[in-house]
Amino acid sequence: MFAGEREDVQKRTFTKWMNSRLVRANKQPIQNFVEDLRDGIVLMQLLEILTGKNLNPERGSSRVHQLNNVDHIIKFMEKHYNIKLVNISSDDVVDGNLKLILGLVWNIVLHWQVCLSLCLIVCLFVGLFVCLPVFVC
């Protein structure tokens, strides 16, 4: 599979994963992966759905508002969930860098889908009450 094909598959897969969560929460689904994520608002909505926390996006349409939203997402993920995004900046997302947007979304999927699934498996294996205080994804 070529790099472009791989990116297309990732883009479709991540869009479906995100849309499944957004639609369940009565939010607008993603139509264009890069364009819809650039201002940070959809990513904030997704994180609000996944975490139950309010992130208060800036609603302005200027580049400064977009950068502030994405920067807030990156800091939120690092501070509250210890997710370190290496070489992904708010500029990369706002500028529409597909590879780095895919990397950001992969980190979200990895943490909130894979981690939670592994936590559930471990909890079922060793006993639910033993795991609850230990595994907080």
Q: Is residue 45 part of a domain?
A: yes
Which residues, 6+ apart, have CB-to-CB distance to 94 below 8 Å? Answer: 38, 39, 40, 63, 66, 67, 70
pTM of the complete model: 0.84
Contact 25, 113 (CB under 8 A): no
Q: Is residue 81 part of a domain?
A: yes
Name the DSSP letter for residue 59: -
Q: Is residue 136 part of a domain?
A: no
* Alpha-carbon distances of 137 from 10, 31, 68, 114, 125, rounded to whole Å: 23, 28, 25, 10, 17
Q: Is residue 105 part of a domain?
A: yes
pLDDT tens figures, 13-72: 999 999 999 999 999 999 999 999 999 999 999 999 999 999 999 989 999 999 999 999
| CATH classification at residue 20 | 1.10.418.10
Which residues, 6+ apart, have CB-to-CB distance to 30 below 8 Å? Answer: 15, 18, 19, 22, 36, 37, 42
Q: Is residue 94 part of a domain?
A: yes
Q: Domain count of the chain?
A: 1
Residue 3: per-residue pLDDT: 81
State the residue range of the domain holding 25: 3-131
